[in-house]
Amino acid sequence: MLEATMKQQLGAYLEKIVTPIALTVSTNSSEKSQELESLAREISEMSEKISLTVKTNDGGRVPRMVVGPQGEQGRVTFAGVPMGHEFTSLVLALLQAGGHPSKASQELLSQIKGLSKPLRFEAYVSLSCHNCPDVVQAINLMAVLNPNIEATMVDGGVFPQEVEELGIMAVPTLYLNGEPLGNGRMSLEEIVNKVDDDADARIAQELNAKAPYDVLVVGGGPAGASAAIYAARKGIRTGIVAERFGGQVMDTLSIENFISVKETEGPKLAMALEEHVKQYDVDLMTNQRATALREVDGVKEVELACGAVLKAKTVILATGARWREMNVPGETQYKTKGVAFCPHCDGPLFKGKPVAVIGGGNSGIEAAIDLAGITRDVTVLEFADSLRADDVLVKKAESLPNVKIVKSAMTTEVLGADGKVVGLQYKDRTNDESHVLDVDGIFVQIGLVPNSEFLKGALELTARGEVVIDAHGQTSLPGVFAAGDVTTTPYKQIIISMGTGATAALGAFDYLIRNS
C-alpha cells in the first residue's frame, strides 16, 4: 500500500509517537478490506509503539480502522481506506493519539477540552477532495482531546449506498449526531465555534476590547496577506480579519503560473502565506465575516457577523470573489444535490454518470478534462460562439471521446426530481430552440463575483460590484483602500492580487503619514 518514499517519510513521523497506540481494523472479504488490513499491518510493523487487532464481520461500516491510545476505546475512525488526500489525516491521527501535540493555539485546544456535550461527527469525503482533509483532521483532533467526542471519516466511494440514501452529492459533508452540520471546507476553529453555544458572545467581547489598528486588512487571501506583510514591515499596528485564511486559493488545486514556482497547490500556497504573515506582528482574526463598513468621527469601523466592531485609522479591503452562479430556476434548490462548483472535490461522486460543465473558459475546460476520466460523459455548455480557454486545453478536451462541447448555449433551468438533479434545459442562441440534457451533475464554472455586498452605500462600486480604486489602491472613501479580486483591477490572478495588496498597504501608510 505504501511506496518506499512514503514509507520512509511515515517512519520519521512515527518516531514522534510518545505513548503507545492501538489500531483496530474491521474487515470482510472485500477488496477494500484487504487494502485496509494491508495498510494497517505495514504501519504497525514500522513502530513498536503501534499494536494491531483485526476483526472479521463484526458489524457496522466495513472496512474501518479505529485509532486510539492503547488501553482506551478509540474515538477516531476511518471508514474506508485513508489514502489520497486523507493519508495526511491518518498520519496526524496516529501522532495525536500517540501524544504528539497539535499546532493549534492553546486557547482553541482549551475550548475543545471544555466541550461537555456528546458530539458524534461523521465526515463524508472523497479521497480526491483537497478540501476534505481540513474537516477530517479537525474532528479527529477534537475526538483525541475530548472523551465526549467521536469522529468518523466516511469514504463515499466505499459506501455509495449510504451516500445515496442520505442524498449527499457534495463533499466534504459533515454530520453531527446524525444531522447535517455543514458542507464544504471548514476550519477547526469554525467547527468548534459551531458546536460551542457560548462562542459567539465570548468572541464578540474579545474583539470589541481590541485597540484601534493603524491598518486593518479585511480578507485573508493573497491580496490580504501581501497587504498585511507590507503594513507590518512599516512597524504600524496591523490586523487581519477574515472568514478563512487563504481565501479562494484554498479551492484551487493546481497553480502553474506563479512566477518562480513551477507548480504548487492552492492549500500549500495558502499555508505558506499564513506562515509568512505570522513572521510579523500581525493580529490574525479568522472565522469572522465583515458585514458593514462605516466611518465615525474619522475612525473606520468594520462590523462583524458575530456582533463585534473593529476600529482602525485605515482599512484595506481584500475580500476577494466567489464562484458566479447561473441564476436560473432550480439552481439554488439543487445546490449540493447535483449542482456543484468543485470538480476535484465532487467529481468522484458522479463516477460513471453523465454530467455537464457550464462555461468554456480555462476553468470549465479544465473541469471537463478532469471529469472525463471519472464520469460516463461530459457536456460543456458555452454561452458564446467560441471557447475562451487556452488552445492547449481546448485541443486536449476535443481529443477526449466522452467530452462534447456545445457553443452558443444558454442554460435556462436546472431540472430535478426526488431531491436531486436529473437534467438541465438550455436554449440554442442561434435559433432559440430549447433542448433538455439528461445529466446527474452540473458543474458551474462561469467566473467570479466580488464579495462586496456589505460595502453597498459605503463607497463607490461598479455595476458588477467591484470596488473602484485608483493607482494607489485608494477607494472613494478616504483612508479606505482595496486590493485583489474584489476591485476594478483587471485580470484576476494570484500574482496580480499580491501586487495590489502591496500597493494598497503602501498607499495606506502614505495616508497615515499625511494625516497623522
| Residue-wise pLDDT tens digits, 336-362 | 899 999 888 889 889 999 999 999 999
Q: What Rg do the C-alpha atoms of the chain give, in angstroms?
A: 24
Asked if 213 and 237 count as a contact pair (C-beta separation under 8 A), the reply is yes
pLDDT at 284 over 80: yes
Asked if 267 and 187 count as a contact pair (C-beta separation under 8 A), the reply is no
pLDDT at 463 over 90: yes
Q: Which residues contact 411 (CB under 8 A, 6 or more apart)?
A: 326, 328, 358, 381, 424, 425, 426
Instruction: Point out which residues pair with 286 in neighbouring strands.
Output: none
Count of C-beta atoms within a 10 Å radius of residue 111: 20
pLDDT at 1: 85
pLDDT at 345: 82
pLDDT at 250: 85
Tell me which residue of 352, 356, 360, 325 sits closest to 343, measured CA to CA: 356
Phi-psi region of 242 (alpha: psi -120 to 50; beta: other; left: phi over 0): beta
Phi-psi region of 298 (alpha: psi -120 to 50; beta: other; left: phi over 0): left
End-to-end, the C-alpha distance of the chain in Å comes to 63
pLDDT at 462 over 80: yes
Q: For strand 50-56 and strand 21-27, is the pairing parallel, antiparallel, or unpaired?
A: parallel
DSSP run (H or E) holding 505: helix 494-514
Asked if 326 and 338 count as a contact pair (C-beta separation under 8 A), the reply is no
DSSP, collapsed to helix, strand or coil, labels residue 373 as coil
pLDDT at 357: 98
pLDDT at 254 over 80: no
Phi-psi region of 246 (alpha: psi -120 to 50; beta: other; left: phi over 0): left
Selecting among 342, 370, 440, 485, the annotated active-site residue is 342
Selecting among 346, 370, 440, 485, the annotated active-site residue is 346
* Res. 209 pLDDT band, cuts 50 70 90: very high
Phi and psi at 126, nearest 5°, equal: -125, 145
Residue 281: active-site member = no
Alpha-carbon torsion (31, 34, 38, 44), positive or negative: positive
Beta strands in 37-115 (DSSP E): 50-56, 64-69, 76-79
Selecting among 129, 345, 370, 485, the annotated active-site residue is 345
Residue 345: active-site member = yes
Tell me which residue of 331, 333, 322, 393 sits closest to 356, measured CA to CA: 331
3-state secondary structure 432-488: CEEEEECCCEEEECCCEEECCHHHECCECECCCCCECCCCCCECCCCCEEECHHHEC
pLDDT at 269: 94
Residue 306: active-site member = no
* Res. 251 pLDDT band, cuts 50 70 90: confident
* Res. 247 pLDDT band, cuts 50 70 90: confident
How much is the mean pLDDT over the chain? 95
Q: Report how far residue 350's alpha carbon sits from residue 440's, in angstroms, rounded to the nearest whole number.
A: 7
**385 CB-contact burial (10 Å; exposed 0-12 / middle 13-18 / buried 19+):** exposed
